[in-house]
Structure 1
Amino acid sequence: MKVKPALIASFIMIGMALFFLIQKVAIYPAYFRSLQEYELSNTENMVVGKIAVDNNQIKTLYFKGDESKPLIVFFHGNMELVDDYAWIFKSLSSEIGYNIVMIEYPGYGNSDGFPSLKGSIEATNKWLEQNYDGNELILWGRSIGSAHAIELFVQNSSAVSNVIIQSGFSDLSVAVTESTIVKSLINSIIFEDYNSLNKLLETPKLARKTKFTLIHGNKDELFSIESAVSFKKALMEDGFSVNFIEFNGDHNSANFSYFKLLMSL
Structure 2
Amino acid sequence: MKTGYEKELNRVLLHVDLSKLYEEDYQIHMMKENKISGLLEVTGCGINGKSRYSYVVTGMVSMKTMFETSVIRKDDMLIFVNRLIEVVKLLGSYMLNPDGLLLYPEFVFFREDNWFFCYLPGRRKPLGEAFHIMTEYFVKKLDYEEVEGILLAYELHKATLQENYDLERIMNEYRIHEKKRRGSEVSETNEEMKEEQEGLPEENIFSINEEEYEPSGDSETIREMGAWRNFRKRTGAKSKKLRWGSWKDLITEEDTY
Task: Give the TM-score range, shorter chain.
Answer: under 0.3
TM-score w.r.t. length of structure 1: 0.26
TM-score w.r.t. length of structure 2: 0.27
Greater strand share, structure number: 1
The structure with the largest alpha-carbon Rg is: 2
